[in-house]
Amino acid sequence: MMPDESHPEIREGVRRLVADFPGEYWRALDRERTYPTEFVAALTQAGYLGMLIPEEYDGSGLGLSAACAVLEEVHRSGANGGAAHAQMYTMGAILRHGSPEQKARYLPHVASGALRLQAFGVTEPGAGTDTTRISTFARRDGDDYVVNGQKIWISRAEHSDLLLLLCRTAPRDAAAKPSAGMSLLLVDMRQSVGNGLTIRPIRTMLNHATTELFFDDLRVPAANLIGAEGKGFHYVLDGMNAERILIAAECIGDGRFFIDRASAYAKERNVFGRAIGENQGVQFPIARAQIQLSAAALMVDHAAALFEAGEPCGTEANMAKMLASEASWYAADMCVQTHGGFGFAEEYDIERKFRETRLYQVAPISTNLILSHVATHVLGLPKSF
C-alpha cells in the first residue's frame, strides 16, 4: 500500500469538503489576512477536528494516522490546516494528563466545536527554542494562580476559546533541573481578554493568525492546572511529538499539491511546438520531488505508528518533520520553476502555498535543532554550549 492510500474513506471525505473552499476562497483570506472561520466550522461539523478525542467524550476515537490523513488531504487540495491543526494535538494534554473533571468538562465541547482549543502558549521573546528559560510566572494565591509575563508567536489566540499556557511556578534556579518547575494551565480566553490578558496581532508573510500575548496579573483558577504542578514541561513534550508528526503530514500534502500542479502544467504547457514535460530538464526535478516525498511519507507513517502504539517516538517525530518539510520545500521550488512567471501569479495559488510551506523549515522546530537532537541523542556526539 502506498502512503497516500491509507484511510481512503477519510481522504475522500476531506476532498469533498475542501472542494467547497476553492482557491478563490483562500486567496481572498490571504489578501486580507483573515481567519478561515467557515472552513474551520466545516471541519468541526464533519468531526475531523475531534477525531483523536475518545468516543466516551463524543469524539471519533481514531488514531494519529487518521488525523494525518485529514491534514495531508487538506493541504494536497490547496487549502491550509494551520488554522485548525492545533486542536488535534493540544487537547492531548487534557486527555493524557487532565483530571476526570477536566476531561468531562472540556473534551465533549471541544469535539462538538462549542469550545475552540486552538492556542498553545510556550514561546517567549527571550526563550525561543530553549523552553527551560521561559520567565512567564504563575504565583499561587489562594484558589488562583496569578500570571505575569509575555508570549510570542502564538497562533490563533484571537480565534480560540481556550489557551494551554506553559509557565513557571518555581524559579529556574530553584528547581531540581532546568526542565522542572514549569506548569501547564488551561486559560479561558473568553474571560481573560481585558482582565489581565492582552493580545497583539503580528503581521507576517503568510496568513497564520500569529500574535503576541501579555499577561498582567491574570487570575487563573487553580482548578485549571493540568496534572501536577512543576510537571508541565513533560506534558508539553507529549504534545510536541504529535504536533511534529501532524505537521509533517501537512508537508506531505503540500508536496503532493506542488507535484500534482507541476506535472499537470508540464503536460499542458507547449513551447517550441511541444509540451515542456518532454524535456528531461523539466521531468527530472519533478521525478526527484516525487521520490523525496515518497520516502518522507514513509517516515511520517512510521512515526505515527509508534505514537499510536505508545512507543517512544521523539526522534522519529523529529526526523519525519525534517524530511517532510525539506521534501515539500524542494517540491515548492520545483513547482515555481516549472511554471516560470506563472508560478508568481496569485491566481495559480502556487506562490501562496510556496510561502505557507516555507514556515515548516522553522516551526514548530527548526531543522538545526532536529540535527542537534539526532547528533547528541542518537549518535552520542558531544553537546555544544
Among 293, 279, 288, residue whose Cα is nearest residue 340: 279
Regarding whether 159 and 220 lie in a shared domain, the answer is yes
Asked if residue 315 is part of any domain, the answer here is: yes
- Cα–Cα dist 318/1, whole Å: 24
Q: Which three cell numbers stand for residue 382?
A: 558531544
| pLDDT surpassing 70 at residue 187 | yes
Asked if residue 384 is part of any domain, the answer here is: no
pLDDT in tens, 242-284: 999 999 999 999 999 999 999 999 999 999 999 999 999 999 9
Regarding whether 374 and 328 lie in a shared domain, the answer is yes
Final residue of a structural domain among 204, 230, 256 = 230
Regarding whether 182 and 102 lie in a shared domain, the answer is no
| Phi then psi dihedrals of residue 270, to 5 deg | -110, 130
Domain containing 37 equals 3-112
Asked if residue 295 is part of any domain, the answer here is: yes
- Global pTM reads 0.95
Helix axes 314-339, 280-308, angle to 10 degrees: 160
What is the three-class DSSP state of 125? Answer: coil
CATH number, residue 303:
1.20.140.10
Regarding whether 122 and 239 lie in a shared domain, the answer is no
Based on the number of CB atoms within 10 Å of its own CB, is 121 exposed (0-12), middle (13-18) or buried (19 or more)?
A: buried
pLDDT in tens, 105-139: 999 999 999 999 999 999 999 987 789 999 999 99
Question: What does the DSSP assignment read for 181-249?
Answer: SEEEEEEEHHHHBTTTEEEEE---SS---EEEEEEEEEEEEGGGEESSTTBHHHHHHHHHHHHHHHHHH
Regarding whether 357 and 279 lie in a shared domain, the answer is yes
Asked if residue 383 is part of any domain, the answer here is: no
pLDDT band at 3 (very low <50, low <70, confident <90, very high): very low
Among 207, 201, 154, residue whose Cα is nearest residue 351: 207
Asked if residue 25 is part of any domain, the answer here is: yes
CATH number, residue 25:
1.10.540.10
Regarding whether 18 and 72 lie in a shared domain, the answer is yes
Supply the pLDDT for residue 4.
52
Regarding whether 203 and 136 lie in a shared domain, the answer is yes
CATH number, residue 141:
2.40.110.10
Regarding whether 245 and 209 lie in a shared domain, the answer is no
Final residue of a structural domain among 112, 136, 169 = 112
Q: For the chain, give the mean pLDDT.
A: 95
Asked if residue 344 is part of any domain, the answer here is: yes
Regarding whether 153 and 266 lie in a shared domain, the answer is no
The answer to whether 166 and 232 have CB atoms below 8 angstroms apart is yes
- Cα–Cα dist 278/299, whole Å: 32
Regarding whether 345 and 369 lie in a shared domain, the answer is yes
By DSSP bridging, strand 162-168 and strand 225-226 are: unpaired
Regarding whether 207 and 149 lie in a shared domain, the answer is yes
Regarding whether 300 and 165 lie in a shared domain, the answer is no
Final residue of a structural domain among 61, 79, 112 = 112
pLDDT in tens, 36-50: 999 999 999 999 999
Supply the pLDDT for residue 89.
86
pLDDT in tens, 206-233: 999 999 999 999 999 999 999 999 999 9
The total of structural domains in the chain comes to 3
In the chain, the N- to C-terminal Cα span, in Å, equals 45
